[in-house]
Structure 1
Amino acid sequence: MRVLRPLLYLFGLLSLLFLFLNMSGSISDSNPIPASVLPAPVKQRVSYTKEIQPILESKCLACHSCFDAPCQLKLENTEGLLRGAIHEEIYDGVRTEAMSPTRLGIDELTIDGWRERGFFSVLHAENEQSLPLMLSMLRLAKQHPFPPNSKLPDSIELGITHKNHCVSSDGFPDYARENPLKGMPFATTGLSDLEYALMAGWLEQGAMAPKETIILTEGEKQAIGAWESLFNREDKRGRLVARWLFEHLFLAYLYFPDQEGELRFFELLRSSTPPGKAINPIATVSPNDDPGGPFFYRLRPVIGSIVHKRRITYPLDRAKQQRIDELFFSEYWPVGELPGYSYTERANPFVTFAAIPAYARYQFMLDEAEYFVRTFIHGPVCRGQIATDVIRDHFWTLFQAPESDLYVTDEAYREEVTPMLGLPGQNDDLLKAGDNWMRYLGRRNDYLAKRQKQYVLRQPSGASLTHIWDGDGQNQNALLTIFRHHNSASVVKGLVGDIPQTIWWIDYPLLERTYYELVVNFDVFGNVAHQLLTRLYFDLIRNGSEHNFLRLIPAGHRKTLLDDWYQDLGKLKFGIVYQDIDDESPAAERFITEKPKQELMSRILDRFHLINAMALDPLNRCQEKNCSRVDRPLWIQQSDQALASIAARPATEIIGIMQLPEVTFIRVTHEEEGRTVYTVLRNRAHSNVAFMLGEELRYQPKKDNLTVYPGITGSYPNFIFDVPVTQMENFVSMLRVAGKPEDFEQIVKTWGIRRTHPQFWEILHDITAWQKSEQPLKAGVFDINRYENF
């Protein structure tokens, strides 16, 4: 016994040491649930459509969709699920060579084709000794559950910088040993016992997933036939207009408002097969690349689940057909030889489509301006960080009236400046990037000099509010608000929030160049040179939009405003990269105060109130005691008033701003009357947004403020609070003074919905359901890749 006692003591110490070395700071890591205790796979036949697909949509799709899906495992439809995953990531900011595109339904049409390109199955094991990767990942999360509504361990990295481990089933054992807390769903409340049993049973039964099909109604077939006839006209004018329309609608989720029944979406693409035949997509990288042979424009149903970040909708109805006929074909215009797909024709759409009347092109884009802004805010990249890197966190956008746009109205001027409007990025040769940039920069600055000279000559009294597009008296697309959320952004109709620091005034050359630079010509699979040139040129577009707005400001005040927008090192870019501001030519508007921007914006709010979707913004621009929407139920008015008390005020007054992320959803509940939802947006202030690097050095936190949006904007919520209306005053009062992390921690514990909250998924999807009832065309599953760990 004396001999055994020290041995037992030593064994105990070694056991404790072993446990210590294998701990990662979480109870769930040190005490995993044995696999034998997990719910047993169901034995009865599992239906993919009725039982599995709803689980994937509710607890997997929030991360696995679009180009930023981890390991390219996209679960929006069955094809993505069957294709599986791959080690190669799409987002790589230092890639020296462009990668081959991997778009579902376009670049490969068979699973065997995807296997040849390196994709591996997540549904079937690679050998008899391993389990299907999906089952292993689900089991790992089930064995290591997080304590309910607990903060995640610091060892778990979140956000878009999170490194994905794209292991196959063979490599899973090593992954599990090194990452015991990184099962799936990742870093959230996991599957319920029933969901796990169903998934395990389905995977054991061979993971059968039937091909998704859509049975079109007779009305949809007729609508498709009418539109495909329009897009495939054989005359030269029809072919040129169809090409322009395709390049402007290829990203859209198209729908038929005239049709009754279920709302369905379609995509416009080029196919080698004519209408009436099965669609065979032409897989070019960009919509304006050479198709390589005869083709037809076709409409194909969008199959699968709808995610919010890709929901960029556009209507195709009889009214739109009539509008196209009115704009493009009501008057004769000649067409010579149709343009091809050369470098110049891809880089300069103003050259390519010069034959189409400029008014028709511009007015078509104005009619659905929010759609076009949404394309380059969401865009083909899903993340949109190329665009958001060079914009303010909150600004208003106006458009120049077509009849006041010299590019539209003056043919001689248009022909003179069109060659100057080409866009960089077509050539991704790293060694030539510098020369390309200097060439396009020079052309752009030559254009601005010519533009300024001509506007002073043709509008000697200067710019006025009559030169702003008024939406033809009814179109709410005329006034937009854009929010940047660090590495994503959103756009809404109307002038939302307090008067922002900067305002954009966009004319046709600015709108078309932005669209082609960030959407048509942008290649998410491109290399670092392509992405660098794209970002640098968009910086010039932003600067041009701001300069155009300053034409409305009186001479002598423009330089002062510009100095506020480009503080510190931002000033150095003038005269080198940016054109110097004209602070001498007159403005047609007359001012009576020393704050012309505020005076001008007050006039704009008054003049265009009939088309302003947020003509009254009592939450952010309250001028009365009752800061609420008076047309809403009393309990919503009470909630409005509480949130209005922290809106549009700087962090020096509302110190809790410093604790909030960029996008916060607040679900406010009423015991008897349901719920409503707000988005609280933190607008970060910067001395300038003129540089690619050093954002933290330009950050001015004391100038941050909040915009409270009554509804939903943003596809990537950073956090959710769930607050009963009876506690709204208390919630806001605590947030107002939450200057320290521990103060905010108390708010999170009381009302916060952490990733580990038992109702996390339920509340997240209830917010989607709320938006679907309020805004059915915009609702979709939110992305939680940026949901924070408070």
Structure 2
Amino acid sequence: MTLSLIRWHGVAALALLSVLAWSAALAADADDADQLTSVADPAQPERSSDAGNTPDYVDDVQPLFNSRCIACHGCLGSPCNVKLDSFRGLQRGGFGLNAYSNHIGSYPRTDMDAADSVKAWRNIGFFPIIADQGAAAENLDQSLLYLMVEAGMRHNDHGFARDALDGLRPDRFNATCAPTPAALKAELKKHPAIGMPFGLPALTEPQFTTLKDWVAAGSPGPSDAQKQAAEKIAEPAAVARWEAFFNQDNKRAQLVSRYLFEHVFLATILLEESPGDQFRLVRSKTPPGQLVSIIGTGLPYDDPYSYANVEQFWYRLEKLSAPPVQKNHFLWTLSLDQIDHLTTLFALDTGKGWGNEIDLTPGWGSDNALEVFAAIPTESRYRFMLENAEVIVGGITYGPVCNGQTATYAVKDQFWVFFLDPQFDPSVQMPMLGLDSWEPFMDRSVFGNADYLKAFAETKDKLFPEGWSLDAVWDGDGTDRNAWLTVLRHETNVSVVKGAQGGVPRSLWLISFAGFERMYYDTVAGFAYWEGDGLKLETLLFFNFLRQAFEDNFLTLLPSEDREALRHTWTQGIGRIGLAAVPFAGKDQPTQVEVSGDDPLMDLIEQLERRLGPTISGLPDPLNPQQKPKVELDASMAGFSDWEAAISTLTAVEGLSFVPHLPSVIMLRLNQGDEHRIYSLIANRAYKSQYTLVFENGESMPEKDTMSVYPTLVNGFPNLFVDLDLKDAPGFLSALSTVKTKQDWSAFKQRYGILRNSSEFWPFYDWINAWNFAQRGDLAGWLDLTYYDAPEI
């Protein structure tokens, strides 16, 4: 059976599971914890141009876009593909086909590397949203951007009717995108409430005047001097040192650079020796010392030579000047001493453990990194991934999609991630697992995955006939907090934080090197977002298989008699069909871990906590403890510690009536005089199965839902803001605990939440963004408002 046919069977299997799930459903009808004591009012002084003065793009207009527009138009897949985080994005304009909508065939790529000029974007089909060729009145009349904002000024005054949005809030990926002023005017006449900012309070008069005067003047961009200032690097020598490392003139180093690029191409890079700058690693037609000329292939392993028609390319650090958005922002932090570390890690100085010379120049176009990079010592590759696990997982959780759609349905709402120690990992010790070919490693079909799992289990039996001990779990060498990660799913987007946070989850993962690579290349490096639904379903199917394998790996640490029961607890309902499709290849293998007590899983977790230690785990977690303090919710509170003790009685507890009604992410500011703390209240929803696209119809288990609280900002997609004085906190918690119905929640939200039509909305949004950048520094990005106080929440 050919690989393509096998993959088609995989897609068919997923479709069958989805249909069965639908039928069954219808039948069933951290590091960031430190807080600022205060944050100054972040609102920029409102500037409107004097008569005859054109507002400056850099000083006046882009800051306005940052604070009011990129909340929905700052990322790949934004509504109508309008991206307002840079002048280049503004010039690109809009496009009516969104690659994330449901479609069978391929759509054009819309990432910013897909074209290098306005003319090229127009050839793809992008239409202009600004006008710059006429007199002031004509520029205003022909600017789609201005027409939309002007409509918002007329219809979205503070207190506008939220129900006016009912039926007008489109699927963000299937919105109608009027490509001409005449078409937009007709649409606005039918639906005046679609003005911008969509479903949010309008701009202030000074803000609107700034935008109007700038559009009337022809929407001028930054000057040459401003462009040069934006491109200026704080410490060019540090960049040069790194670019020299990435472009060494020997085949081993070149293969390592290719490996690193494919694993961090989506990350924002910080160089400690160039403070204030942020970069990304790109492939360029130009060498170091010249302006970067990006080779923008669709996938990181596509052939750069043929794509750009060049005989040589260079890895470059491109300085980023666009404002970061939190939803796709994750960091790879480097210092110059890491050049020596990477040189040693990959044995570039000795060549120890490397493959034959013939293996150093593999071809392009393959998503099978385990084969492509086989010449690089296996343990070196795995240790790089371990040391940068949060970065690699960041690629999976924060990109390339910004908004994960159904791909996120393959994972549970909260789970902990551990990694196999290289010395106990069959895929490190015997990389090919006894197979004759690398093909099963990235065969996404039911059959190919089963072959891989069988080979992994058989290799484990051969190498570790007595099973794994607790030493098989990587301990981060005692200090590396990448060894224990908490991953959170919030509907269609995901977050990752270091340590054991949020309370004990419903499942735990143990990831191997090969499994880590398979997951990364399935969901990130090999994910062609522009392709049709068939390939996306294939990705989702494979992600389900991978999740199941990681859960099964963890279960094999437990006694064999406890494994199946837990497996069936973690996956129920229609998911049993999925369990049958993913064989539990190691279910009968022995274990060297001894557990005691009535709860073997909790005993194992406690052993892991002791083995990895508090530096890795971050435990105890006072906001989500197992042992609850004896506190009355309505008792008065003298300080923040009283609040934390009180709310901790409601966290990581099943069966609380209010939890199923919570939105995914609430960001709460707690105030005591001039001191403020930020908390994130996260809903962890429980489902019988991840083997279905239809969670809401019969597969949900609201009685198992829990709430976790984090003492910082988590996730980039807030659903609701709450601004709470400490004196009102007892009433808030007491009222929250009594919510039982949708009507109760609606009343509670009206009382305590900052709704999207509130006069408090923009001031609070400005404040929390300023807090984010001031407190979390380079980790911070602008918050997204796509799902804020949506009618369906």
TM-score strictly above 0.5 = yes
Matches for 1:618-633 after TM superposition, within 5 Å:
618-623=622-627, 625=629
Choose from 187, 196, 213 the match for 2:199: 187
- DSSP-derived class of the 1:696 partner: coil
8 A contact 1:41–1:196 mirrored in 2? no
Choose from 235, 241, 258 the match for 1:226: 241
Deviation at 1:90, TM superposition (A): 2.2
Deviation at 1:769, TM superposition (A): 2.1
8 A contact 1:42–1:198 mirrored in 2? no
Amino acid at match of 1:742: Q
8 A contact 1:348–1:423 mirrored in 2? yes
1:578 aligns with 2:582: yes
1:355 aligns with 2:362: no
Match of 1:326? 344
Matches for 1:373-412 after TM superposition, within 5 Å:
373-410=393-430
Match of 2:78? 69
- Classify 1:392/1:337 alpha carbon distance in 2 versus 1 (closer, same or farther; 3 Å): same
Q: What is the rounded CA distance, in whole Å, between the counterparts of 2:69 and 2:209 in structure 1? A: 16
- DSSP-derived class of the 2:712 partner: coil
- DSSP-derived class of the 1:697 partner: coil
Match of 1:614? 618
8 A contact 1:144–1:181 mirrored in 2? yes
8 A contact 2:299–2:525 mirrored in 1? yes
Q: What is the rounded CA distance, in whole Å, between the counterparts of 1:178 and 1:218 in structure 2? A: 49
User: Which segment drifts farther, 587-596 or 718-727?
Assistant: 587-596
Larger radius of gyration: 1
Deviation at 1:750, TM superposition (A): 2.6
Q: What is the rounded CA distance, in whole Å, between the counterparts of 1:162 and 1:289 in structure 2? A: 27
Match of 1:677? 678
Match of 1:336? 357
8 A contact 1:312–1:374 mirrored in 2? yes
1:289 aligns with 2:302: yes
Deviation at 1:619, TM superposition (A): 1.2
- Classify 1:203/1:231 alpha carbon distance in 2 versus 1 (closer, same or farther; 3 Å): same
Q: What is the rounded CA distance, in whole Å, between the counterparts of 1:264 and 1:418 in structure 2? A: 44
1:645 aligns with 2:649: yes
Match of 1:497? 502
Choose from 184, 187, 190 the match for 1:175: 187
Amino acid at match of 1:680: L
Deviation at 1:719, TM superposition (A): 1.0
Amino acid at match of 2:393: V
Amino acid at match of 2:330: I
Amino acid at match of 2:516: L
Deviation at 1:257, TM superposition (A): 1.3
User: Which segment drifts farther, 205-214 or 633-642?
Assistant: 633-642
8 A contact 2:668–2:722 mirrored in 1? yes
Choose from 107, 123, 147 the match for 1:136: 147
Q: What is the rounded CA distance, in whole Å, between the counterparts of 2:233 and 2:320 in structure 1? A: 17
Deviation at 1:331, TM superposition (A): 3.4
Match of 2:565? 560
Matches for 1:153-552 after TM superposition, within 5 Å:
153-158=164-169, 160-161=171-172, 163-167=174-178, 168-210=180-222, 212-214=227-229, 220-260=235-275, 263-291=276-304, 292=306, 293=310, 294-328=312-346, 329-332=348-351, 333-338=354-359, 346-410=366-430, 414=433, 416=435, 419-423=438-442, 440-552=445-557
8 A contact 1:268–1:299 mirrored in 2? yes
Deviation at 1:205, TM superposition (A): 1.5
- DSSP-derived class of the 2:487 partner: strand
Deviation at 1:352, TM superposition (A): 0.6
1:53 aligns with 2:66: no
Q: What is the rounded CA distance, in whole Å, between the counterparts of 1:768 and 1:85 in structure 2? A: 27
- DSSP-derived class of the 2:508 partner: strand
Deviation at 1:320, TM superposition (A): 2.0
Deviation at 1:784, TM superposition (A): 0.6
- DSSP-derived class of the 2:495 partner: strand
1:653-702 CA-to-partner distances (Å, cap 9, x unmatched) read x31213211111111122222x1111111111111112234552211112
1:602 aligns with 2:606: yes
Unaligned runs of 5+ in 1: 1-38, 425-436
Match of 2:108? 100
8 A contact 2:79–2:173 mirrored in 1? no
Deviation at 1:469, TM superposition (A): 0.5
- DSSP-derived class of the 1:121 partner: coil
Amino acid at match of 1:275: P
Unaligned runs of 5+ in 2: 1-47
- Classify 1:326/1:415 alpha carbon distance in 2 versus 1 (closer, same or farther; 3 Å): farther
Q: What is the rounded CA distance, in whole Å, between the counterparts of 2:595 and 2:170 in structure 1? A: 47
Q: What is the rounded CA distance, in whole Å, between the counterparts of 2:214 and 2:652 in structure 1? A: 51
TM-score, with structure 1 as normaliser? 0.87
Q: What is the rounded CA distance, in whole Å, between the counterparts of 1:463 and 1:689 in structure 2? A: 27
Deviation at 1:578, TM superposition (A): 0.8
Q: What is the rounded CA distance, in whole Å, between the counterparts of 1:117 and 1:752 in structure 2? A: 43
Match of 2:41? none
- Classify 1:744/1:444 alpha carbon distance in 2 versus 1 (closer, same or farther; 3 Å): closer
Deviation at 1:316, TM superposition (A): 2.1
Q: What is the rounded CA distance, in whole Å, between the counterparts of 1:724 and 1:226 in structure 2? A: 50
Match of 2:759? 758
8 A contact 1:471–1:478 mirrored in 2? yes
8 A contact 1:91–1:524 mirrored in 2? yes
Deviation at 1:110, TM superposition (A): 1.9
Deviation at 1:200, TM superposition (A): 0.9
Match of 1:28? none
Amino acid at match of 2:357: G
Q: What is the rounded CA distance, in whole Å, between the counterparts of 1:543 and 1:82 in structure 2? A: 45
8 A contact 1:73–1:85 mirrored in 2? yes
Amino acid at match of 2:69: C
8 A contact 1:274–1:296 mirrored in 2? yes
Choose from 110, 113, 124 the match for 2:120: 113
User: Which segment drifts farther, 577-586 or 158-167?
Assistant: 158-167
Match of 2:21? none
Q: What is the rounded CA distance, in whole Å, between the counterparts of 1:143 and 1:258 in structure 2? A: 49
Q: What is the rounded CA distance, in whole Å, between the counterparts of 2:744 and 2:578 in structure 1? A: 42
Q: What is the rounded CA distance, in whole Å, between the counterparts of 2:285 and 2:153 in structure 1? A: 48
Deviation at 1:636, TM superposition (A): 2.0
- DSSP-derived class of the 2:282 partner: strand
Amino acid at match of 2:82: L
Q: What is the rounded CA distance, in whole Å, between the counterparts of 1:729 and 1:418 in structure 2? A: 63
- DSSP-derived class of the 1:777 partner: helix
Amino acid at match of 2:181: S
- DSSP-derived class of the 2:670 partner: strand
Q: What is the rounded CA distance, in whole Å, between the counterparts of 1:340 and 1:517 in structure 2? A: 23
8 A contact 1:591–1:599 mirrored in 2? yes
Q: What is the rounded CA distance, in whole Å, between the counterparts of 1:642 and 1:667 in structure 2? A: 16
Amino acid at match of 2:609: L
CA RMSD of aligned residues (A): 2.4
1:656 aligns with 2:675: no
8 A contact 2:285–2:295 mirrored in 1? yes
Equivalenced residues, count: 724
List structure 1 segments (4+ residues) > 6 angstroms apart after TM superposition: none
Deviation at 1:734, TM superposition (A): 0.3
1:23-75 CA-to-partner distances (Å, cap 9, x unmatched) read xxxxxxxxxxxxxxxx9995433222222222111111100011121111101
8 A contact 2:230–2:321 mirrored in 1? no
8 A contact 2:659–2:683 mirrored in 1? yes
Deviation at 1:548, TM superposition (A): 0.4
Match of 2:711? 710
- DSSP-derived class of the 2:162 partner: coil
Amino acid at match of 2:259: W
Q: What is the rounded CA distance, in whole Å, between the counterparts of 1:634 and 1:477 in structure 2? A: 36
Q: What is the rounded CA distance, in whole Å, between the counterparts of 2:731 and 2:778 in structure 1? A: 34
The percent identity for this pair of structures is 28
